[in-house]
Amino acid sequence: MKVFGSCGETWLGNVPEQVRYAESLGLDGVSIGEMKHNSILALTLAAEHSSRLELGTGVTIAFPRSPMVMAQAAWDLQELSKGRITIGLGSQVKGHNQRRFSVPWTPPYQRMKDYIGMMRAVWRSWQHGETPNFVSENYTYTLMTPNFNPGPIPYPFPKIAVAAVGPKMAELAGEMCDALLPHGFMTKEYWRDVIVPAVERGAKRAGRSVSEVEIGVGGFWALGETESEVEQAIDRLRTPISFYGSTRTYHAVFRHHNLESLGMQLHEMSLRGEWDKMPSAVPFDVAAEMANACTFDKLPDYLRTNFAAASRIHLGQYLPQPSTGGPWRQSAMSEERARWLINELHKVQAA
């Protein structure tokens, strides 16, 4: 199993030290988010200051950027990194697209499918000289002149991953992506019963093997050296569960566990601006039910039992960080302990 850490989500001046430190730990790659900072800028610095790591975004918000803009950025980064880039795309929810990014909203499955299709059409015209002729419901690409063509690169196309909470995006990952990045807001049961079968359906529809898609482990982690630390980590999860659970787009996960009434309660609280009260509305036993919870020693076996189809795991918040830190410093795990755990996780094989 590939093991990914975190990078970015901090001021850009901190990224070089973060990525060099991640590389020194023996990680396979780093994932760069896009909550408070720009993922593409951080990815550029990560590419410049590393030599081995797989570098991906987890995720870059797609629809505020045109597919051409994203294709161009990914092409430059793939050349700079010598072929190590995965662009992880996320649709975001309707409210954030319209009210935070100020872009129109259309059904995300077909739009993301068209988005990825156009990106690859752009790359084919640059790499192989293919005449641009991509026309879809959401995007059109029929013009490329020499002045705007950067030309081929000596590397494969950048990989594309897609984030998913629901089955439609998971199907899209199986149909046309290199990797699936499950959202933290899900459970091992939802991942097993809904997400993995959706990836398999998408792959079958496209005539692909599901083994062509790297499937990430889904859900929130509650880890620690001792059971007491694990319980404390579960308690901390009440905050992100309340935040994501207040958005109705994510209520399918609650429904899977007969908890939709909690989702609606959180939604109503969010409309009243009661963000500070929402974590206490999530019972501890619900947080425990939604958590991937175990001690570090038991994590490899936990993955074998509960995530047999997964081929990658993201543990950024539990791995040691350099002095610049980041928003993930939840663990006092030593470097020696981290190297041991990474080595053990590498031994876990996807079924």
| Structure confidence by residue, pLDDT tens digits, 232-249 | 999 999 999 999 999 998
pLDDT of residue 328: 47
3-state secondary structure of 251: helix
3-state secondary structure of 163: strand
Per the structure block, which two tokens stand in for 122? 């752009």
Q: Are 318 and 331 in contact (CB under 8 A)?
A: yes
Q: Are 220 and 291 in contact (CB under 8 A)?
A: yes
3-state secondary structure of 190: helix
Q: Are 42 and 7 in contact (CB under 8 A)?
A: yes
Pairing mode, strands 85-90 and 312-314? unpaired
Quote the CA–CA distance of 102 and 13 in Å, as a whole number: 28
Per the structure block, which two tokens stand in for 198? 């959706």
Q: Where are the domains of the chain?
A: 2-220+297-346, 221-296
Quote the CA–CA distance of 273 and 233 in Å, as a whole number: 25
3-state secondary structure of 65: coil
Residue partners of 350: CB distance under 8 A and separation at least 6: 1, 215, 308, 309, 310, 311
Quote the CA–CA distance of 194 and 309 in Å, as a whole number: 13
Among 225, 265, 224, residue whose Cα is nearest residue 241 = 265
Quote the CA–CA distance of 302 and 316 in Å, as a whole number: 18
For residue 244, CA distances in Å to 50, 193, 329 come to 33, 20, 21
2-220+297-346: what fold? TIM Barrel (3.20.20)
**Which segments in the chain show pLDDT lower than 50?**
327-328, 330
Quote the CA–CA distance of 111 and 296 in Å, as a whole number: 40
For residue 103, CA distances in Å to 65, 95, 202 come to 9, 10, 28
Quote the CA–CA distance of 15 and 6 in Å, as a whole number: 10
CA dihedral 78, 22, 312, 286 (to 10 degrees): -130
